[in-house]
Structures are given as C-alpha cells and as structure tokens.
Amino acid sequence: MAKGTCISKAVAVGIGVITVSSVGGLVLMAVMFQHQISQTRPLEPPKPTDAPGTPTDPPSNIRLFDFLIPENYKVFLQTYLYGAIPNNYTEQSFFFKGNSTVRLKSMKEPGAIYLHVHNLNVTNVEVRKSDSNEKLSVKGYKIHYNESNFLEIQLGGKLSGNGTYYDLFTTFEGELFEDLSGLYASRYTEPSEDEDEEDEESLLQPTDARKVFPCFDEPALKAVFEITIIHRPGTKALSNGIADPHGTQIDGEDWVVTTFSPTPIMSTYLLAFTISDFESRIVPSRPNMHIYARKEAIKAGHADYATEITHTILTHYEDIFELKYREDNLDQIALPDFGVGAMENWGLISYQESGLLYDEDTGSTFDKEWVATLIAHELAHQWFGNLVTMSWWNDLWLNEAFATYMSYTGVEAAGWDLEDLIVLREIQSAFHVDSLNSSRPLSLHENDVQTFSEIIELFDDITYSKGAAVLRMLSAFMPKGAFMKGIRETNQNLEAFMSTWVEQVGYPVITIITQTGDTTQEQFLLKQEAGHDIPWYVQITFIKSNDLVMKHDTLTRKGPVQKPNFQISKDQWLLANINCTGFYRVNYDEENWNKLLMQLERNYNVIPLINRGQLIDDAFNLARAHRLNVTIALSLTKYLVNDTEYIPWESALKNLEHFVLMFDRSEVYGPITKYLRKQVTGLYEYFEEYTNNGTIPDKHTDQIHPNLRRAIYCSAIAAGDEDDWEFVWNEYQRATTAAEKDKLRYALSCTKEIWLLNRYLEYTLDPSKIRKMDMVSTINYIAKNVAGQPLAWDFVRGKWSYITQEYGAGIVSLGSLLDGVTQRFSRDVELQELKQLQREQDKDDQGVAARALEQVIERTEANIQWVKENKDIVKEWFNGEL
C-alpha cells in the first residue's frame, strides 16, 4: 500500500488554514490538489543550491526534470488533409507539419534539454537566450524511441540557471492516422450524401500532446498556448482559444490561417484541435459558446438539447462553486470518431456523437439523460481538473471523482431527478471492483505510476466511482454545507477519516449483532482471505423500527466493540448506513435480516428508498462472499412484486443477472427465469407485448416508443434469421443518429446463429464496418449473449496480441474488454485459459490491462467456488418459489 501522497494531510492543513471561503467548493478542491492551484506556478522553482546541478544524462524514468519550466508556446500547425475528395483517395493527404517556440525558464545549468515527442519527425532545433536573442550552439538532438518519448537536445555549452529565459524552437512533420489518438483523421458520411468526408480530431489525454508537437507533456507543466492552424479552404479550425480565420496564399495554393487567442495557463493534455466543415448552434445567453456537429445533425436539430441545457448546468456550477466560468468561450463538438465518451478540453470539449446529440424523434429517455450526464461531467471539469489540476497522474482520481460527484448535481439542475442514482451507478460498481484483492487504493504513490500502461490503467472504476463515493461520504461526514464551502468547523478527525479511505485498498463490511450490540469491521473480499490490519474510520448512521430519526456512531477500531446504540429488543429491527452514504457494507445477525425482510413485505416505505436497493445489493454480495446464507438474499427480492421503484429493482436485477450468468449454461437457468418472469410481470406488462411480438416494423423509426427500441430490436434479431440480420445490418449502416446506430449494433449481437456471431466478431476488427471506438462494446455485447460468450472469448484470446497492438496504444479500454468477455466465467477450464493468457502476456512483456487480467482471474476463482457451493441450494430455492 502506497504511503506518501497523503491527500488527507493536505485537506486537514488546508481546511485548517482557510476559515472563510470566497470561492466555495473550489477551496476544498484546491487544498485537495496537493501542489498547485492554477495561476500559481505549477512547480515551486527549486532554490539555487551549491550542488553541481548540471545533469546531462537523461532522467532515469519517464518523468522530465523539474528545473526547466515552460511558460508559453507559440505553435503553428499546417495540415494538408482535404475535407472532401469525391471518390478518390489517392489525392488525399494525411500529413501535417509545423513549428513551435516554447519560452522556458531555467532553474539549473544543464548541458541538455529534455522534452517529449512521439511519432513526429523533428527537422530542426534552435535554442536562443530570450533577452538577447543570442543563439546557443546545439551539438545535436535525438529521439529516444522507448517509452520515455524524450527529445534530447545536446547543447554546446550549458544553460544558465537562476530563472534565465530561453526560447526553444523546433520544426516537425507528422502523419495523420485514423487511430483515435493525438491529432488524427476521421472519415464519415452524411446520411443524405454518398461521398465520404474527412475531418481531423484530437484526443491528447493522457500523454498524446507530444504526438502533435514537441512539448513538456506532463500535467503539472502548465503554460499559455498560442495556437495557429493553417488548413484547407472550406474547413473550419477549432482549438481552445477564440478563432480568427483569414485566407492566404502559400506556394500558389489557397489556405486559411486561423489564429487562436492565447489559452489560460493550462496542461498540455487539455489542448484540442479539430478541422472540419461542421456547423454550429449558439448556446442561448452565452454568445461565445457553440455546439458543433456534422452539418446534417445540426440541421436536423440534434444539437438543440445540448444548447438548451449547457447554460443551465454552467450557471448551476457557477452558483455552487461561487466562481464564474473563467473563460468566455466554450465550444462543444460532437465527433464521428472518438475513443472515449467525452473529453473536457478547456474551451473545446469533445464528445462522441451519442454523448452530445439527441434526436427527439428516435432517441430514448436514456439517450437524452446520457447527453445531460456527459455534459454535466465535462462542464464540472472546467473547474475541477482544468482550473485546478493534479500534478501527476497518480492523483487522477481527484479530477475524475470531483467531476463525477458534481455531475449528479449538474444533471439534477438540468431537470433530471437522478441524484440518488449515484448509488447504483457509482457506489455499487465501485463496491464490485473494490471487493477484489487485486483492486488498488484510490491514490497511488507517484513512483507507482511510471509507465504508459500504468497511467492508462488509472482510468478505471476506482478512479471514477470509488472516488465519487468517497467524496459523497466525505460530504456526509462534514457538517452540513461545509463540503461545498470548504470550511472546517469542528471536525478534527477529517485527516484520520480520509486517509483510511484514500490510501488503502478495499472497504469494510460492518457486522452488527443486534442482540448484544457487538460491532466489528473487516475488509470485504469476495474471496475469503486475510484482509487488512488497518481499520477504516467508519461513521455508522442508523435507524430503528421504533425510532426512525437518523442517529450516528463511529467505529475506528476493528472490534468487536460493544455499541449499546445497536442493541435492540425482540420486536425491533435496526438498519445501518442510511442512504448508503458510507462506503461500506453492513451485515447483521440472521434474526435482524429476517425482521427487515418482514418489514419490506409488510410496508416497505418505512425503509428509505436507497436502503431498499442497498439491502438487496449488500445481501447478495455478502452471500457471494460466504458471509450470508444466499436464501436470505433471494428472499429479499420477493417483496419487489409490490415495489415499483427503480433503485431497488435495478439493484435486484443487477444481482440476479449474476445468477443468470453463473447458471445460464446449466439446469438452474429454467427455474431462475421462471421466477424472474413472475416477479417482473406486473412491472413489464406493457413492455412484454412488444418483446413477445418480436417484430421490427417496416419503418422502424415509427410506431415504437423509443425507450423500448433496444429491447425490441434485440428480441427480433434473437428470434429472426439471416435475412433479418442483414436487414438490421443495413439499417445500422444507414442510421442517421449515433444513438440509433448503437441500438442496432447491440441488436445484431442478439442472434442465436453461431456463424452470424462469428462473422460479426470479425467485423469488429474491421474499422470500415465497426468503428474503432465501438470495438470493445460490440465484442462485449456479443459476449453477453449466451451463444456468443465462448465465441467472443475465443476470438479475444486468439487475437489478443493483434488487439493490444492495434488498440492498446490509445485509451480504448482493453480492461473493460476483458471484464466483459469473462463475466460468465465460473469453470475451471476458463480459469486455466485466463491464466494461460496471463503467462503469455508476461512473456511478451505487454503490460496492457495487466491489473484487469488479475481482477478477472480473481473473480473467476471466486465464481468457481461459489457455484460449487451454492448451485443446489439456489436451485432448490427457485423451485420452491414457483
């Protein structure tokens, strides 16, 4: 367990010092971000010392030295791509070149300069002293073709220290690939046109700014960027600043030169560039904010919803953070090819089309909510992450946890009643990964994040979901209102509290014996093994049947501690962790479980909504971890015939889905589905009619309610034959909105025909059929289908080295691919196959998704044991309920 980067210390100190806050929540944020606040220099310049301080050898890892501090970049990029070349790609030009002048401050006297460059040819390097413009002699420069990506510039002499300024000038050339990283090309077709069009897009997080121009590509090395893009007429360039285009002639050709206003002081990973012929809508009340998208999407009004809610969400944040969005301009753009859902580039946020565009006619409620959710997340980043940034990737969770946690309030402000869903979407998913020994602490030590794979692996559920869960808990732990204000009033235990949750892996299960009040905590692990020695600092909230007013108590030792508070009489029940604000599970003596069960059946409204879901989730997971008889978990689902709320239902379905996955290849499957059908009938009567019909209407955009489309298409394909499959495949290719395309792409995975599934799997690695960005989710859809599961696994296993090579370099999540294709694994042979893959991967020394692989192995081992022990009892229970 990493010690050292102790967030909690910063919290305690910072909050102790600042008693009155003028900038609200940002203060808390700022103190949590340990080293830096925007507008201050990212790194404290080292004090001149007597030490020789003239290193010329490269840094020993992938980190740059900290004594050369970039302050300003002037970057020119000239890209040769045409927007459209009718039917003839031989004339297309996948090429760009440029130059960059970076002003840097030298604090020591090195004989060499190191910065980053990747996949670029550097054609010239000059170094000048800024005040005199005197040119220094450059002995040579070379690129380190290993993971460090260093551009090493050997000087004839040495730089001066003491804050002397230098201008480093480089010229470079690069190629445009369709690889979704750095600056890349993307091909798309407007629905009403036959010709392909081409645009340029960028995704630079975490370490791909160096693929666009040589730079000091670390988040702490913030600077001002003055960008100029020279591009073909008929296209429009966008970047972080405000664009000012004008036409010119270069070598007899027409070009457009677009200069951008200087950016605020910012990290390289937040830069963005797009060159396209997209059109835009202005955000009402925000004249310098636009939503950009393909021309036909704009014309069809698909950007209208985003324009509607942007102002509302932004204003909501400005109010609660008590700080205006700092920059005037903010564009959001929907990109045909984008490897992640969205990226918060400062002033130019990028989205997948399905993340920003919404079609009132065909989109479902969920599609619309997804747009609101992503916008709320990315807008929150304009403060959390952009204005204040982690100094190294090990603290990525600070960025993402704040944005994720805040986004629930942002979406609420946009009119969606789903703040409580944070429990389903973040907390329960975080519980899941974090119940594995191969999970990781939220905050890692800086030294443990030193390779590209180690950085990429951080973009996981721990960072996003556990991070958000822990912040939600912190907010409940602090006095009301203090979280947003960042003010510490009375709470001296904050540091002790936070460090136990941030620095150590996992989370506890609190066991309460209500007859005696004996209370213990232990690490909750899916597979029984010795957990932690260090106890968590747990605040336990609770109610009792005779006293529904919430009280609280704390547990800071492992126990057992006798808590008179938790003792109850024969006819009472106790419920702990009200609204699941604490990141822990609760187990009780069997008697209390049964009393809670009876309460649910008598009158479930007495139990708070969130806890109805959490009781179910806790019980099922306690059963998986052999801490509770599985029949109690199953019995908790019986009362659902009476409950129509989403949170308890979704909690139950998620857990029953695990049963289905474990048993859908066995004779237990029949009774399970019968029971499920019985429970669900009332709720889904309406829905059932469509599903049973299993038909796709001739005009699939008509007649059907959008919310049901996904399920209907899927069951139609499941019941259908090859012709139906081909029909939907054609519809998929013709569909005009990304959300609709996604539903059809999912439906195609529902067929029972093995050869169709195999062919579909082959399509996933052919970017002309399935876009690169959709590869992982398509294979995972196929693996969800019981007929597709073994095919998907064999496919992934067989092509693993190709997949890691072609897709592993970007941020495409191979971890979630592994997670998806092994969901059902519960057999010895499957475990052996996983271990074989792990051995091969070790041999090839490709670390990609190494942690994910460990996690799915551990999960499979737990599943094997669980199925062995529980199959009979589960079967018996379901049979008894029929």
Ligand X SMILES: *[C@@H]1O[C@H](CO)[C@@H](O)[C@H](O)[C@H]1NC(C)=O
Residues between 593 and 622 with contacts to ligand X, criterion CB under 6 A:
601, 608-610
The single-letter code of the amino acid at 135 is K
Are 183 and 174 a contacting pair, CB within 8 Å?
yes
**Dist CA 627 CA 669 (whole Å):** 24
Provide the minimum distance between the beta carbon of 133 and ligand X in the complex, in angstroms, as a whole number.
Answer: 12
User: 452 or 727, CB closer to ligand X?
Assistant: 452
User: 188 or 452, CB closer to ligand X?
Assistant: 452
DSSP 356-404: H---TTT--HHHHHHHHHHHHHHHHHTTBTTTB--SSGGGHHHHHHHHH
Helix (H) or strand (E) holding 10, with range, is helix 7-17
The single-letter code of the amino acid at 775 is M
Return the closest-CA partner of residue 484 out of 492, 499, 472. 472
Are 252 and 372 a contacting pair, CB within 8 Å?
no
Strand ranges (E), 629-677 = none
Provide the minimum distance between the beta carbon of 643 and ligand X in the complex, in angstroms, as a whole number.
Answer: 8
The single-letter code of the amino acid at 158 is K
The answer to whether 290 is annotated as binding is no
Cα 542 to Cα 30, 124, 515, 547, 579, distances in angstroms: 33, 68, 16, 10, 10
Provide the minimum distance between the beta carbon of 310 and ligand X in the complex, in angstroms, as a whole number.
Answer: 27
User: 390 or 403, CB closer to Zn ion?
Assistant: 403
Residues 6+ away with beta carbon under 8 Å from 800: 837, 840, 841
Task: Indicate which of Zn ion, ligand X, none lies near residue 569 (CB less than 5 to 8 Å, by partner kind).
Answer: none
Q: Which of 501, 639, 725, 878 binds ligand X (CB under 6 A)?
A: 639
With both helix axes pointing from N to C terminus, report the angle between 304-321 and 396-413 in degrees, rounded to the nearest 10: 110
Q: Which stretch binds ligand X (CB under 6 A): 355-363, 636-644, 662-670, 830-838?
A: 636-644
Residues between 230 and 289 with contacts to ligand X, criterion CB under 6 A:
230
User: 421 or 792, CB closer to ligand X?
Assistant: 421
Residues between 397 and 456 with contacts to ligand X, criterion CB under 6 A:
420, 437
The pattern of x and - marking residues 551 through 590 that bind ligand X according to CB under 6 A reads: ---------------------------xx-----------
Provide the minimum distance between the beta carbon of 601 and ligand X in the complex, in angstroms, as a whole number.
Answer: 4
Sequence length of the chain is 882
Cα 366 to Cα 354, 407, 418, 643, distances in angstroms: 11, 16, 12, 22
- 388 burial class (0-12, 13-18, 19+ CB within 10 angstroms)? buried
Q: Which of 72, 92, 160, 846 binds ligand X (CB under 6 A)?
A: 160
| Residue 814: strand, helix, or coil | helix
Find residue 169's DSSP bridge partners.
101, 126
| Peptide bond just before 560 cis, omega within 30 deg | yes
Provide the minimum distance between the beta carbon of 172 and ligand X in the complex, in angstroms, as a whole number.
Answer: 9
Cα 574 to Cα 55, 477, 515, distances in angstroms: 65, 21, 11
Q: Which of 54, 248, 693, 836 binds ligand X (CB under 6 A)?
A: 693
The pattern of x and - marking residues 15 through 44 that bind ligand X according to CB under 6 A reads: ------------------------------
Q: Which of 54, 605, 642, 733 binds ligand X (CB under 6 A)?
A: 642
The answer to whether 118 is annotated as binding is no
- 742 burial class (0-12, 13-18, 19+ CB within 10 angstroms)? buried
The reply to whether 378 belongs to the active site is yes
Task: Indicate which of Zn ion, ligand X, none lies near residue 565 (CB less than 5 to 8 Å, by partner kind).
Answer: none
Q: Is 504 in the site for ligand X (CB under 6 A)?
A: no
Are 796 and 833 a contacting pair, CB within 8 Å?
no
Q: Which stretch binds ligand X (CB under 6 A): 15-23, 88-96, 274-282, 320-328?
A: 88-96
Provide the minimum distance between the beta carbon of 342 and Zn ion in the complex, in angstroms, as a whole number.
Answer: 8
User: 558 or 627, CB closer to ligand X?
Assistant: 627
Task: Indicate which of ligand X, Zn ion, none lies near residue 9 (CB less than 5 to 8 Å, by partner kind).
Answer: none
Q: Which stretch binds ligand X (CB under 6 A): 285-293, 480-488, 685-693, 795-803?
A: 685-693
Q: What angle do CA 16, 21, 25 make, to 5 degrees?
A: 95
Using only C-alpha atoms, the chain has a radius of gyration, in whole angstroms, of 28
Q: Which of 73, 76, 292, 649 binds ligand X (CB under 6 A)?
A: 76
Return the closest-CA partner of residue 601 out of 637, 654, 574. 637
- The site that binds ligand X (CB under 6 A) totals a number of residues, namely 44
Task: Indicate which of ligand X, Zn ion, none lies near residue 90 (CB less than 5 to 8 Å, by partner kind).
Answer: ligand X
Q: Is 627 in the site for ligand X (CB under 6 A)?
A: no
Task: Indicate which of ligand X, Zn ion, none lies near residue 690 (CB less than 5 to 8 Å, by partner kind).
Answer: ligand X
Return the closest-CA partner of residue 622 out of 586, 596, 581. 586
Q: Which of 66, 71, 147, 279 binds ligand X (CB under 6 A)?
A: 147
Q: Which stretch binds ligand X (CB under 6 A): 19-27, 686-694, 814-822, 840-848?
A: 686-694
Return the closest-CA partner of residue 268 out of 219, 313, 224, 235. 219
Among 109, 201, 378, 457, the active-site one is 378
User: 396 or 474, CB closer to Zn ion?
Assistant: 396
Provide the minimum distance between the beta carbon of 379 and Zn ion in the complex, in angstroms, as a whole number.
Answer: 11
Residues 6+ away with beta carbon under 8 Å from 249: 255
| Peptide bond just before 206 cis, omega within 30 deg | yes
Q: Which of 13, 282, 550, 754 binds ligand X (CB under 6 A)?
A: 550
The single-letter code of the amino acid at 700 is H
Are 447 and 518 a contacting pair, CB within 8 Å?
no
Task: Indicate which of Zn ion, ligand X, none lies near residue 121 (CB less than 5 to 8 Å, by partner kind).
Answer: ligand X
Task: Indicate which of Zn ion, ligand X, none lies near residue 608 (CB less than 5 to 8 Å, by partner kind).
Answer: ligand X
**Dist CA 429 CA 506 (whole Å):** 13
Provide the minimum distance between the beta carbon of 82 and ligand X in the complex, in angstroms, as a whole number.
Answer: 12
Residues 6+ away with beta carbon under 8 Å from 640: 648, 649, 652, 679
User: 277 or 369, CB closer to Zn ion?
Assistant: 369
Q: Is 626 in the site for ligand X (CB under 6 A)?
A: no
Binding site for Zn ion (CB under 5 A): 400, 403
Q: Is 92 in the site for ligand X (CB under 6 A)?
A: no
- Which one-letter DSSP state was computed for residue 765? T
Return the closest-CA partner of residue 676 out of 690, 689, 688. 688
| Residue with smallest beta-carbon separation from Zn ion | 403
User: 159 or 430, CB closer to ligand X?
Assistant: 159
The single-letter code of the amino acid at 872 is D
With b for 16 or more beta-carbon neighbours within 10 A and e for fewer, the 642-657 pattern comes to ebeeebbbbbbbbbbe
Q: Is 146 in the site for ligand X (CB under 6 A)?
A: yes
Task: Indicate which of ligand X, Zn ion, none lies near residue 403 (CB less than 5 to 8 Å, by partner kind).
Answer: Zn ion
The tokens describing 673, both together, are: 């589905």
Provide the minimum distance between the beta carbon of 381 and Zn ion in the complex, in angstroms, as a whole number.
Answer: 5
Q: Which of 122, 138, 323, 641 binds ligand X (CB under 6 A)?
A: 641
Q: Is 183 in the site for ligand X (CB under 6 A)?
A: no
Provide the minimum distance between the beta carbon of 122 and ligand X in the complex, in angstroms, as a whole number.
Answer: 9
Q: Is 475 in the site for ligand X (CB under 6 A)?
A: no
| Residue 809: strand, helix, or coil | coil
User: 14 or 467, CB closer to Zn ion?
Assistant: 467
Helix (H) or strand (E) holding 624, with range, is helix 609-624
Task: Indicate which of Zn ion, ligand X, none lies near residue 99 (CB less than 5 to 8 Å, by partner kind).
Answer: ligand X
Are 7 and 445 a contacting pair, CB within 8 Å?
no
Query: Which residues belong to the annotated binding site for Zn(2+)?
Result: 377, 381, 400
Q: Which residues does the annotation mark as catalytic?
A: 378
Binding site for ligand X (CB under 6 A): 48, 58, 60-62, 76, 78, 88, 90-91, 95, 99, 121, 144, 146-148, 160-162, 169, 173-175, 230, 420, 437, 529, 550, 578-579, 601, 608-610, 629, 631, 638-639, 641-642, 689-690, 693
